Amino acid sequence: MSMKIESNSFQNGAEIPQKYGYKKDNINPNLIIKDVPTSAKSLVVIMDDPDAMGAVGKIWVHWVVWNIDPSTKEIQENSVPSNSIQGKTDFGENAYGGPAPPDKEHTYIFKLYALDDKLNLEESSTKSQVEKAMEKHVIAESKLEGRYAP
């Protein structure tokens, strides 16, 4: 049984509704988490835009959340799981930053990781710091992709 991340807000590979965009309501979509390994001690969600590489020269980080309780089944729209920590995005904020493609339609990826430990990181930690801390602790992962056009 493999862990899954899904959404009631959009289907995998489909268009992300405009209200989730950075220049619109800028709220996170609902995320549904299934089949987390029983050995998981925490979850991590990272949302990024690999298509930004062509526009701004790097993968743009939109959301970094860690130490999510592994019993979490759903992250409600416009919410952050209790007792979890949000890191710094490429918008310079410790919060969700919705899709904001500067040029054309981009693909956004929500990555879910189950870890065998909690992460001991400061709130303003970046995606790269979280990924470094996660090394050797990932026991399962899944992803959800959506498209968004300006």
Q: How many domains does the chain have?
A: 1
Please spell the DSSP secondary structure of 7-67, one letter per residue.
-SSS-TTSBPPGGGSTTTT--PPPEEEE---TT--EEEEEEEETTHHHHHSSPEEEEEEEE
Please spell the DSSP secondary structure of 113-147, one letter per residue.
EEESS-----TT--HHHHHHHHTTTEEEEEEEEEE
For residue 107, what is the domain's CATH number? 3.90.280.10
pTM over 0.75: yes
Q: 69 lies in which domain range? A: 4-148
- pLDDT, the chain, mean: 97
Residue 108 banded pLDDT, cuts 50, 70, 90:
very high
- pLDDT for 115 equals 98
